[in-house]
Amino acid sequence: MERSVGLGGRARSGDRQKFRVALLPLNNFTLNAFSGFVDALRLAADAGGRSRQIECGWSIVGHDAVRASCGLAVTPDQLPPDPATVDYIAVCGGNDYRLRQQPEWLDTYLRAAADAGTTLIGLCTGTFNIARAGLMEGRTACVHWNVHEEFRDQFPGIRTVSDRIFLDNGNRISCAGSTGASDLALYLVSRHCGAELAQQSLRHMILNRQRDANFPQPQFVNDTQDILDGVVRRCINLMEQTLNVPISMAELAQKSGMSERQLARRFRASLGQPPSRYYRFVRLRYGAWRLIHTTDSVTQIALDSGFSDGSHFHREFCKEFGASPNRYRKTTAGERFL
């Protein structure tokens, strides 16, 4: 008869549990990524959603109670375990990613885990913490598009991508967070327990399919890697955050600490066009992505892209891509217009 591994025990040959994860939430962690990850494991671990840790195991670890960015308090089950007793340590970050320091115990623990050969997972901004401990050198980090610029500013020597939902680098896995954390957990379930248990979890979550690691994050600007002007890069980031309700160029200039004329000069020097034109392009790319990846109506996509109505969106879309929104959607090779 097979036996289960107790809390804190690494899955071993002959044990029922195929792998174990220690989830380490940090203060101000994002609940969506944390809960999506652990719930995907829970639903795969036992039949009928009964939550027993049979096929895989997990524990919530840490030194003190922490709060999610939404205010929910979480008390760890145990102190951080010996890294050799788990297969993965998932660092769950959140809104404190701009703090450029972290507790000494966290650096020490993550380095000990790396030395033990335990795979480190950065969930949401947890990749910042792994990088801050000096453990991402020579690797590529996958981060959410909203924090891409900040990560690059803090860790200029680390290649950073936001064109996928997670990236497996062997003993380092980085995940953009949000709903992508569920896909990452299902990826681990498939790897260790088989596709059927991943499907079991999907069915319980009322999802149709598991997304691959390279599924695109819905970001709609070109890579800003070659843009040297930090003000322009920050403005582009702000544009991404305000696609559905575009801000005025006056407000964009105010937020960047300069006049509209100065900002326009900076954009022309970096991108060869004024910020208003680039902003329009970003919103149209968002609309194009929605046309390909959703079944939403053109009118709804137009409104969500910050256009006053479907006719306005239609006119601007045709100018930019040389095809109407409906033709673009029906073209199986639609992405060639991008």
Average of per-residue pLDDT across 132-149 = 93
Q: Which residue has the higher pLDDT, 295 or 112?
A: 112
> Is position 125 within any domain?
yes
**Type of residue numbered 330:** K
* 90: nearest Cα among 205, 180, 172: 172
The answer to whether the beta carbons of residues 132 and 99 sit under 8 Å apart is no
Of the candidate ranges 124-133, 156-165, 235-244, 261-270, the one whose mean pLDDT is the lowest: 235-244
Do the domain assignments include residue 12?
A: no
- 5 assigned to some structural domain: no
Q: Crossing angle of helices 260-271/249-256, nearest 10°?
A: 90
Within a domain: 223: no
User: What is the rounded (10 degree) CA torsion for 186, 192, 195, 199?
Assistant: -40
Residue 199: name the closest of 217, 187, 215 by CA. 187
How far CA 48 is from CA of 52, 228, 247, in Å, comes to 10, 53, 48
The verdict on residue 215 lying in a domain is no
Structural domains counted in the chain: 2
Q: What is the pTM of this model?
A: 0.73
Beta bridge partners of 88: 21, 119
pLDDT(142) > 50: yes
For residue 74, list its beta bridge partners: 66
Range scoring the smallest mean pLDDT among 65-69, 262-266, 286-290:
286-290
Structural domain boundaries enclosing 192: 20-204
Secondary structure (3-state) at 24: strand
**Residue 5 reports pLDDT greater than 60:** no
Same domain, yes or no, for 169 and 299? Answer: no
Residue 224 has what pLDDT? 61
The CA-atom distances, in angstroms, between 269 and each of 140, 227, 237 are 29, 10, 18
Structural contact between residues 5 and 20, judged by C-beta atoms closer than 8 angstroms: yes
Q: What is the CATH number of the domain that holds 149?
A: 3.40.50.880
Nearest-Å Rg of the Cα atoms of the chain is: 22
- Are 254 and 317 within one domain? yes
197 and 244 part of one domain: no
Q: Identify whether 14 is part of a domain.
A: no
